[in-house]
Structure 1
Amino acid sequence: MTKRTSGHLISLDDLADSQLRGIVERGAELSSRAARGEGVNGTALARDVVGVYFRKTSTRTRTAFSSGALRLGAGLVTFGPGDLQLNTGETTEDTGQVMSRMLDVLVARTAGSPRELRAWAAQRRMSVINAMSADEHPTQALTDLTTLTRHFGAVDGLTVVYVGEGNNSAAALALGLSRYRGVRLELRTPPGYGLTGDVLGRARQHAAAYGSAVEERHDLDDLPADFDVAYTTRWQTTGTSKPDPDWRTVFAPFQVTERLMEGSPKAVFMHDLPAHRGEEVTAGVLDGPASIAFDQAENKLYSAMAVLEWCRAVSA
């Protein structure tokens, strides 16, 4: 395998603004083509081999990247949580070096610190894509931005209300939306379960450069009038647990309900799924006419394809 400089996606902050927008626009283009009944398969990854390594459960992200790689002409190697010699004591660094000599792209969900992903990315042969770490879910945010672009035509100027835990999906959403102009993101998170100070600070720094706003409160009072999107995620983030045994009591008020949606009758509802009806969202909202959650899930495929194409284009 010849040496080359590889494109990695560990955090959205790894992307230049033009790269982030380019991936989103390409995902929206593929989504539009699919909606028109046109083919989306291609040859951008012909003769490449993509590894898919998930330590934690996944339906949408794993299927999207696996299907996307195959649709772009790649071969696929999959690894389960117990398949690698990491479990017998091989170092993270050695694992990355070996993988980079056999794979062109590694899509990995560790649900832990991004340090391991950074270690795997410390070489020039294999692209590394973060399919969710403890701090950020960057490919989910790219899917969300793709979905917003498809539905509204543009992300600039939107008002988004996020209700729920300040988890890795919320972090990525904040880091992504804040890089568009005139966006207002209102995060309403349970007390003690907000975004980290680091993520909030980075998002606000981005927002200041684009005339946007990222605000966080720990109640549902005084929601913005005429918001465009209500967004939530499951209360129990994949691969995590909460130390407070009474956490459900704290989370109970932070539910997206029909009443909340009535505050902005033209708004749409988004959810990264999986959903738990009756917890973070009512069935009436998730399955109702305002919901675009399952379009959002489908767009994960087109966004994944756009990410894979970008990684290989940077590596060429």
Structure 2
Amino acid sequence: MEREYRSLVSTDDLSDSDLRDIVERGVAHATGRAARSLPLEGDVVGVFFEMTSTRTRTAFSAGALRLGAQIVPFGPGDLQTNTGETFDDTGRVLARMLDVMVIRTGRTQDSLAAWAAQKNMATVNAMTQEEHPTQALTDLITMQARFGTVEGLRVCYVGEGNNTAAALALALTRFPGVVLELRTPPGYGLSAKVRARAEALATAAGSSFAERHDMDDLPQSLDVVYTTRWQTTGTTKPSADWRQDFAPFQVTSRLWEDSPQAMFMHDLPAHRGEEVTADVLDGPMSMALDQAENKMHSAMAVLEWCRGVCPKATR
């Protein structure tokens, strides 16, 4: 059977059915319920990271190998884009040789459009300026593995409205009954485009979405408190005094006063004493390391979806 080539540039590329298929499959990989097989045997997966990465790069490399594919790794100085070849031409050439290209870049999401349009290569966005969709899938897999479902969860994200926050807002709001509240520093919130899209998705799904720029009247009875590091990979802050703006948004144990059962999530790397205190990150409610491991399980599910061999979720 001929395999498909489907690209994942944004969570918006996924139908609701696709989203749930990937999450269910990722949970199956994470819990050992996925049958041992090599569905990508014969495939070649390129792994191109123009920016640093520990978890995502390792996850896709290890995940592709575990699924039977071979990998071709590219570093930031390896391709002829450094000598003037256009990004689009590079994508057209690679599509003649690779089955999947996983890419992290400081470019805009639109820059991946020509790559994703190739008929014989799937493109996976492993992080761009605007969105980190595979992180959101990892987060959903982690939540479902822990709680048994994503629907109805109460989640508070604290910190910058960065590409991780954007992807989370665009994915989590698609599950009925979810309550997602973001607390972001003034001037460092979600883009207007992402916020409007998240609000529309929440309305359609019957979930709840809100963003505030203070730490007053925090929501109660939370299931998850989530943060990311303050200095997002590949970005700089417009103000030299940005740490003063971020200081009130540090995640400390006081957030558990009204939500004693809440689990803590962090996409790592973490800076103890900045976005989160050590007692929270290393404490009994932290799922940060499970979340990191689930990057590989998410990567495997994404690769299977891209090639049309991801099983359908039971509904």
Report the TM range for the smaller structure's normalisation.
over 0.9
Matched, 1:221 2:216: yes
What is the CA distance between 1:228 and its match in structure 2?
A: 0.7
Query: Which of 100, 110, 116 lines up with 2:111 in the alignment?
Result: 116
Determine if contact 1:50/1:103 at 8 Å carries over to the other structure.
yes
Q: 1:6 is matched with which residue?
A: 5
Q: Give deviations 1:35-85, integer Å, cap 9, x for gaps.
A: xxx786521110000000000000000000000000000011000001000
Q: Which amino acid aligns with 1:31?
A: A
- How big is the shift at 1:91? 1.1
Listed as ranges, the gaps of 5+ residues in structure 1 are: none
Consecutive unaligned residues of structure 2, counting only runs of 5 or more, are 311-315
What is the deviation of 1:121? 1.3
Counterparts of 1:81-230 in structure 2, within 5 Å, are 81-230=76-225
What RMSD, in angstroms, separates the aligned Cα atoms of the two structures? 1.4
- The letter of the residue matching 1:160 is V
SS in 2 for 1:252: helix
CA distance in structure 1 between the aligned counterparts of 2:31 and 2:257, rounded to whole angstroms? 29
Identity of aligned residues (%): 66
In the other structure, the counterpart of 1:312 is: 307
> Pairwise mapping of residues 258-297 of structure 1 onto structure 2 (< 5 A)?
258-297=253-292
**Could you tell me the TM-score, scaled by structure 1's length?**
0.95
CA distance in 1, matches of 2:230, 2:48: 25
SS of equivalent to 1:276: coil
CA deviation after TM superposition for structure 1 residue 211, in Å: 1.2
Give the match's secondary structure for 1:162.
strand
Q: Is the 8 A contact 1:255 1:279 kept in 2?
A: yes
Q: Is contact 1:52–1:66 with CA below 8 Å preserved after alignment?
A: yes
Deviation at 1:111, TM superposition (A): 2.4
Q: Per the alignment, in what secondary structure is the counterpart of residue 308 of structure 2?
A: helix
CA contact (8 A) 2:4 2:308 kept: no
Amino acid at match of 1:194: G
The CA deviation at 1:4 is: 7.4
- What is the total number of aligned residue pairs between the two structures? 309
Per-residue CA distance 1:235-287 (angstroms, 9 max, x = gap): 00001011200000000000110111222000000000000000000000000
Determine if contact 2:4/2:306 at 8 Å carries over to the other structure.
no
Distance in 2 between the 1:301 and 1:4 partners?
A: 22
Specify whether residues 261 and 165 from structure 1 end up closer, same or farther in structure 2 by C-alpha distance, changes over 3 A only.
same
